[in-house]
Chains A and B, each alone.
Chain A
Amino acid sequence: MKKMFLPAFLALFVSLISQPAAATLRIFACEPEWGALAKEIGGDQVSVYTATQAGQDPHHVQARPSMIARMRRADMVIATGAQLEIGWLPVLIRQAANARVQRGQPGYLAASDYVQKLGVPARVDRAMGDVHAAGNPHIQTDPRNIARVAAVLAKRLGQIDPAHAAFYQSRYQEFSRRWQDAIARWEKEAAPLKGTRIVVYHKGWNYLNRWLGLIQVGALEPVPGVPPSTSHLAQLLSKVKQQQVAMVIYAAYQNPRPSEWLAQRAGIPAVKLPFSVGGTDSAGDLFALYDDTIHRLLKAVGKSAGSPDREE
């Protein structure tokens, strides 16, 4: 019995520590939009673990033990970068001790490195709140950024898994075609939104604003990362009334109450936007994310094909 035990234990140990013949690439996606993109490009050649969900504030995520375990075996990490995950990703990468996903490896992809960032502060001071020195990291609010990241992702997947490089490229080509068509459609649909004045909860919509031509008049957070105070809200309310603001926008993960408070007093709609894949029931994939975002915005200005009811 004893003689049987040792080889059996050794076999178990070896099977534990050696990677099984890589059937699929393990992708660790920090946010749902990158998880969804990895599925679009990787198809059935990748298995995707998404560390957070759209209901979570990506600035404040706890480095859970389960994430360390997933990071340990990941072949690739897709993060937003630009210091969005600075409070949790570095400690995960350090604890997981995985050579494949270290910074500088093809298995570490920071999406925001490949787009032109908005809102890079000329000066950084914590009195300005939780500012991102590298620029606004919420790049996923503009689908043209997704297109740029998709190209990089396809290349990286091919680098890590050369046997399927052609597969990833063809999937990317196919995705890219559908995506460009969708962008054209969205731009046409969203044309009436151009010049709409908005107030946001957190300065997380710079890229969306630029894409659709929305004009951001103010933010509920007095400085990024600091919850809205009553005095600041009162100030903002008078500004909203003066400047003909059409709506208040907040992300699915944010507390709706301050936005609703302001919207109610100003007599304008408060619009909850999905912000990421899964943020609302209808934003089930990348395409639906923008479909739903534009639908909700149009509805708020009363220009959708459907009822011009107020949102939420």
Chain B
Amino acid sequence: MMSFRSTLARAALLLCAGSGFPLLLSAESSDSPDEERHHIQEELKRMQQRLLEMEQRLSEQQAVAATPAAPAGSASPNVFNPQISVILGGKYQHFSRSPGHFAVPGFLLGEAAGLDERGLALGESELNFSANVDNLFYGSLTVSLSPEGGAEVEEAYFQSLHMPFGLTLKAGRFFSGIGYLNQFHTHHDDFVDRPLPYRAFLDSQYGDEGVQIRWLAPTDTFLEFGAEVMRGDAFPSAGSAHQGAGAWDLSAHTGGDVGFSNSWKAGISWLHSTARQRDAFDGQGEPVGSYSGESQLWLADFVWKWAPNGNPVNRNFRFQSELFYRTEKGVLAGTAPAASYDGRHWGWYAEGVYRFHPRWKVGFRYSELRADNSGPAVVSGAILDDQGHIPRRASLVLGFSNSEFSRIRIQLAQDDSRRKRDYQFSMQYLMLLGAHGAHQF
């Protein structure tokens, strides 16, 4: 702005110098003072006009000046670099009870189902590279760096961009398309943690190596079917059964709009998995048993989004809910001699998030689980005993984002996952660096 003003001043000076000469001449040659005044007024008017024109030209130039003759860097090989984005995350958490004693009575939990440590902690930093490989394929790699050091490949897959009949093929390691929330990276969430059923049934998030095929029906209403075959290494499967094809699933989703302000999506999914010596963990991350058998999960998901006139920036509301039903039939070994167990498990959660200001949103989530286990492995007071308790959890979150790339949130939770109530307080930040991530609905 400074440079703009000084250029303007210089332009005005030049203008004066340029037009000053004829001004003097005209003053000399004129006779009557009236005529002289008239001349000067005319000159002034002309000067004002020219000043205005110059000012205008300057503001135009300002806009155009920055336009490079050729797009910058178009000659450099870097233009073909993939999109890179980095996500930085960290939190502070306070629990009224020791997170080491976390358990969900009646459920065999995976390693990532428990609570984080108390106090200040760095979260996982995420690094994503993605790009179109060529005219037929798209590739994406997401690496998560744990605060202790060490990197883990969260997702590494390629996907077809177009195939006949509206088919899409995806292969590699990826988050499964079952349910609604599962395929989203956690940085997309509005809460500090995943819903309790996700932690109990899918060890927070279900992803594995596999192949996915999706078919999008050629209808004006969104209708999509998907099928996946997975290696079977990730919870709820384990041990890569069936020669490395230990899990498969089917899903169907549909969705539509109600005017420009409302849209919805709903679906059902079925996951069949085989577990071979799947470890069950306690709150401290120690294995307390090992399960071998079948696990079948049914999932129903529903999401409704409201944004006045399709404008989510100032105000919007999202309601989201998923229902879980699972049966497990197999053998539990470990602390006690191996014994068979037959389990039926239910779970659901519902959450609503309301953005009431361009920068602020508030959300509430309620989750509940139920277990009904039978068989010799169900020993009173042991891991499979539901102790007549219904695990549930309620959380309230307040989020602030300065722009869509920075997010800070505070969450309060009343956690009744175990029999003794735990009050949990969390603060979290998420910073998104680099490329714009386009998000799915």
Contact = CB atoms under 8 A, between A and B. Distances in A.
Interface of A: 16-17, 19, 52-53, 55-57, 60-66, 68-70, 72-73, 83, 86-91, 93-99, 102-104, 116-122, 126, 129-130, 134-136, 194-195, 206, 209-210, 213, 215-216, 225-227, 253, 255
A63 B438 contact: yes
B426 to A, nearest CB: 26
Ranked nearest first, the 6 interchain pairs of A and B with the lowest CB-CB distance are A65-B255, A65-B222, A99-B162, A55-B309, A91-B438, A69-B222
A104 B162 CA distance: 13
Contacts of A210: 60, 63
A298 B106 CA distance: 73
A245 B353 CA distance: 41
Given A65-B263, A68-B222, A69-B221, A116 B67 contact: yes
A209 B59 contact: yes
Nearest to B358: A227
A64 B441 contact: yes
Nearest to A68: B222
Interface string B160-181: 1111111110000000000000
Contacts of A86: 436, 438
Contacts, number: 162
Nearest to A239: B1
A119 B67 CA distance: 6
B79 to A, nearest CB: 12
21 contacts: A17-B166, A56-B311, A60-B311, A62-B312, A64-B257, A64-B263, A89-B438, A94-B159, A97-B166, A97-B167, A97-B214, A99-B164, A120-B66, A120-B71, A126-B433, A130-B403, A210-B63, A215-B55, A216-B59, A225-B403, A227-B359
Contact of A53 (B216, B264, B309): B309
A52 B307 CA distance: 13
B432 to A, nearest CB: 9
B379 interface: no
Interface in B232-284: 253-257, 260, 263-265
Contacts of B66: 119-122
Contacts of A226: 402-403
B6 interface: no
B157 to A, nearest CB: 12
B188 interface: no
Interface of B: 52, 55-56, 59-60, 63-64, 66-68, 71-72, 132, 135, 138, 159-168, 214, 216-224, 253-257, 260, 263-265, 305, 307, 309-314, 358-359, 402-405, 433, 436, 438-441
A53 B310 CA distance: 8
B183 to A, nearest CB: 12
Contact of B260 (A55, A65, A194): A55
Contacts of B313: 57, 60
Contacts of A134: 71
A117 B263 CA distance: 34
B307 A62 contact: yes
B63 A118 contact: yes
Given A72-B218, A99-B162, A195-B55, A65 B310 contact: no
Give chain B's interface secondary structure class.
mixed
With a 10 A CB-CB cut-off, give which of B52, B222, B358 has the most chain A CB atoms.
B222
A210 B65 CA distance: 13
B135 A102 contact: yes
Contacts of B216: 68-69, 72, 95-97
Contacts of A66: 220-222, 255-257, 263
B162 A98 contact: yes
A97 B161 contact: yes
B56 A195 contact: yes
Nearest to B164: A99
A225 B160 CA distance: 33
A11 to B, nearest CB: 15
Given A16-B218, A90-B438, A53 B403 contact: no
Nearest to A61: B310
Contact of A73 (B64, B71, B218): B218
A69 B220 contact: yes
Given A65-B441, A72-B166, A121-B66, A55 B219 contact: no
A118 B165 contact: no
Nearest to A60: B313
B59 A88 contact: no
Contact of A65 (B160, B265, B433): B265
Nearest to A253: B311
Contacts of A129: 403
A206 B438 contact: no
A88 B59 CA distance: 32
B260 A255 contact: no
Contacts of A64: 255, 257, 263, 441
A17 to B, nearest CB: 5
A195 B48 CA distance: 11
A70 B220 contact: yes
Contacts of B214: 97
Contacts of B309: 53, 55-56, 253
Given A55-B309, A55-B310, A119-B66, 10 more contacts: A66-B263, A68-B222, A69-B216, A69-B223, A72-B218, A99-B162, A120-B68, A122-B68, A126-B405, A134-B71
A88 B438 contact: yes
Contacts of B260: 53, 55-56
B63 A206 contact: yes
A64 B259 CA distance: 12
A87 B436 contact: yes
